[in-house]
Amino acid sequence: MGNLLKRALLLAVALSAIAYAGDYALLRLRMVFPRWAAAFDSVQMERLYAIALKNGKTAYELDAQRPEVTLPCVRALFPHLGYSPCWYLRRRSEKPIPMIILISVRGLNNLENVAFAVD
């Protein structure tokens, strides 16, 4: 049984490596021959923050400084050349960015004596 498990694991690793290498080869071919298909693209993202409130509800706000961001991406299944895949960025572009408010307490060595008031 152990030998079968080792072979299955080796096969899974080999297939993953072949898929990654094939994806990279197709990307390089697209870079050399751009008429076939574009190798790179860009995704327009809205920076929407999801801010957790004290009452358990969530408030949504657009980023005031950069409400829209254009991110470069690679048209492939896996990340290559430092770029994320376009399908992954498009999927993430619809989700708000969760924000957590952290309270900083500086200068206190004993945090057991600190009490936080909640309205």
User: Who has greater pLDDT, 88 or 110?
Assistant: 88
CA 36 to chain centre: 28
Burial of 77 (0-12, 13-18, 19+ CB in 10 A): middle
pTM: 0.68
Q: Beta strands 48-52 and 97-99: pairing type?
A: parallel
What's the pLDDT tens digit per position in 28-73? 999 999 888 899 999 998 888 888 888 888 888 888 888 888 999 9
